[in-house]
Amino acid sequence: MVRVLIVDDDVSLRRVLEYNLQEEGYEVLTAGSGEEGMRLFDERSPALVVTDLKMPGMGGFQLLRQVKERSPETAVIVITAFGAVEAAVEAMKAGAYDFITKPFNREALKLTVRKALAMQGLTRENRRLKEELSEREAFRSIVGISRRMEEVFRIIDRVADTEATVLITGESGTGKELVARAIHGRSSRRDEPFVAINCAAIPRDLLESELFGHVKGAFTGAVKDKAGRFQQAEGGTLFLDEVGELPVELQSKLLRALQEREVQPLGGTTVQKLDVRVVAATNADLEEAIAEGRFREDLFYRLSVIPVHLPPLRERKEDVPLLVRHFTAKHGGGQVTFAPETLTVMEGYGWPGNVRELENTVERMLIMRNGDTITPEELSEKIRKGRQPQRECPVVNLPDEGYSLEQLEKEIVIEALERNNWNQSSAARFLRIPRHTLIYRMEKYAITTPERKK
């Protein structure tokens, strides 16, 4: 029930108001003074207040101000003497929703109260919508002015509201997930779920059930039917992150889901028709994975109907200052600026971790900063030294007459294995490649583990 508070020192007027509003179905609280009114307001939080302006002690104006201070959205209607237009105008300026004049007309009173409550509902709804929108905007705000990013924006705009499958490629931290969310947020599916699954993060033997769901009894522990991410994304978008890590067995099942628009839960005998748009991402070289037999070529073509490539940050340095400003604001550094020299140094750095590394750097610098202007001295030594050593090639001096890449690769693989005592997992980590890629290379170059290490 909607609760209304009436504050008036005139007892008979209070009764009339109370009676009329009760008749309308409101729960009515009454107070004979401003002080009592405020006390009731604090205790019972009414949705609407009707108050006389002239009262001994705390007057209607003061009450109006206090109510507005505590709860700006509460509607206040003031009662003024007939002809006291100035007071009414003052009250509206101070935040009153409307006024009624004494002696009042019952219907006018009821109408004014009804309108005030409806208005309040709208205000709330409006605020909720705005909040939701800004949350969505935050997801969507992909910053960039470089030509390469403009190109990306153009593709997003073009494809967002289609059913096309999109494959987003790019190094780690370049914004692949952000783009996937932007595509969803700009499609007509935006009010339906956006479901993400990281194919590299889920153990192989659980992945099938995670993706496609399972039926009760499909395996030990499957005590009831469970929906997969595909089913959860019904009507919306499924984001397949690190799709390059999907085991080959599941690739054919995914291909079928994409082509037939249906999935078969693990252990189930029937298929389910689904309406899901798929956006996939990878930071691996899928063409290489295809060449190595780890990724189905037909799936690759099915996924990359629309390819979107996010260039590494070092190839779009123009975006650095803008991103710095964006992250400064995002992490609460509204008053902070980065000196031009600081930005120049930051533009010269290689950012192997791309935008994510830049964001973390800005966030850390905001916490550690000395003042409101951030100077180059505050940058870490790694960034000040500029060039990223890992990105250059500090280890190899190529002879002038040229050298075979395959031979070089073979030597590097052997060296990495030697250094890691022929432990394949460590050597793969050392070379920053997945273990299966290392094994593939060892087979390719016929590198075998020496007897002494077996």
Ligand X SMILES: Nc1ncnc2c1ncn2[C@@H]1O[C@H](COP(=O)(O)OP(=O)(O)OP(=O)(O)O)[C@@H](O)[C@H]1O
Binding site for ligand X (CB under 6 A): 142-144, 170, 172-178, 283, 323, 326, 355-356, 359
Considering beta carbons, is residue 112 or 283 the nearer one to ligand X?
283
Considering beta carbons, is residue 98 or 177 the nearer one to Mg ion?
177
Considering beta carbons, is residue 142 or 366 the nearer one to ligand X?
142
What does the DSSP 8-state code read for residue 107? H
Minimum CB–partner distance for residue 198 and ligand X (Å): 8
CA-CA distance, 207 to 250, in Å (whole number)? 8
Q: Which amino acid is at 407?
A: Q
**Strand locations in 217-263, DSSP E?**
237-241, 262-263
Considering beta carbons, is residue 139 or 445 the nearer one to ligand X?
139
Minimum CB–partner distance for residue 210 and ligand X (Å): 18
Q: Which parts of 165-204 interact with Mg ion (CB under 5 A)?
A: 177
Minimum CB–partner distance for residue 399 and ligand X (Å): 36
Q: What, of ligand X, Mg ion, none, does residue 283 touch, CB below 5 to 8 Å by kind? A: ligand X
**Chain residue whose CB lies nearest Mg ion:** 177
C-alpha distances out from residue 135 to 126, 178, 333, Å: 14, 13, 19
**Chain residue whose CB lies nearest ligand X:** 175
Q: What, of Mg ion, ligand X, none, does residue 173 touch, CB below 5 to 8 Å by kind? A: ligand X
Minimum CB–partner distance for residue 124 and Mg ion (Å): 36
C-alpha distances out from residue 316 to 169, 171, 282, 329, Å: 16, 13, 20, 21
Minimum CB–partner distance for residue 115 and ligand X (Å): 43
- Are the beta carbons of 316 and 144 closer than 8 angstroms? yes
Considering beta carbons, is residue 10 or 177 the nearer one to Mg ion?
177
Q: What, of ligand X, Mg ion, none, does residue 184 touch, CB below 5 to 8 Å by kind? A: none
Minimum CB–partner distance for residue 207 and ligand X (Å): 17
Which runs of consecutive H residues, i.e. helices, occur in 24-76? 34-44, 60-70
CA-CA distance, 277 to 435, in Å (whole number)? 32
Q: What, of Mg ion, ligand X, none, does residue 265 touch, CB below 5 to 8 Å by kind? A: none
Bridge partner residues of 52 (DSSP) = 79
Number of residues lying near Mg ion (CB under 5 A)? 1
Q: Helices 60-70 and 34-44: crossing angle, nearest 10°?
A: 20
Considering beta carbons, is residue 178 or 227 the nearer one to Mg ion?
178
- Are the beta carbons of 314 and 346 closer than 8 angstroms? no
Taking alpha carbons only, the member of 11, 77, 15 closest to residue 50 is 77
Considering beta carbons, is residue 113 or 362 the nearer one to ligand X?
362
Q: What, of Mg ion, ligand X, none, does residue 202 touch, CB below 5 to 8 Å by kind? A: none
Minimum CB–partner distance for residue 283 and ligand X (Å): 5
**Strand locations in 179-224, DSSP E?**
194-198
Q: What, of ligand X, Mg ion, none, does residue 174 touch, CB below 5 to 8 Å by kind? A: ligand X
Considering beta carbons, is residue 144 or 333 the nearer one to Mg ion?
144
CA-CA distance, 145 to 108, in Å (whole number)? 57
CA-CA distance, 190 to 380, in Å (whole number)? 41
* Residue with the two structure tokens 């109510």: 67
SS3 256: helix
Minimum CB–partner distance for residue 276 and ligand X (Å): 20
Q: What, of ligand X, Mg ion, none, does residue 433 touch, CB below 5 to 8 Å by kind? A: none
Contact between 357 and Mg ion by CB under 5 A: the answer reads no
Q: What, of Mg ion, ligand X, none, does residue 175 touch, CB below 5 to 8 Å by kind? A: ligand X
CA-CA distance, 242 to 251, in Å (whole number)? 13
Residue 338 φ/ψ, nearest 5 degrees? -95, 125
Minimum CB–partner distance for residue 144 and Mg ion (Å): 17
CA-CA distance, 209 to 265, in Å (whole number)? 7
Considering beta carbons, is residue 20 or 174 the nearer one to ligand X?
174
What does the DSSP 8-state code read for residue 168? E
Q: What, of ligand X, Mg ion, none, does residue 356 touch, CB below 5 to 8 Å by kind? A: ligand X
C-alpha distances out from residue 131 to 40, 75, 134, 136, 188, Å: 31, 21, 5, 9, 20
Minimum CB–partner distance for residue 353 and ligand X (Å): 8
Considering beta carbons, is residue 115 or 356 the nearer one to ligand X?
356
Per-position x/- string for 79-108, each x denoting binding to Mg ion as judged by CB under 5 A, each - no binding: ------------------------------
**Strand locations in 65-155, DSSP E?**
75-81, 98-102
Residues engaged in binding Mg ion (CB under 5 A): 177
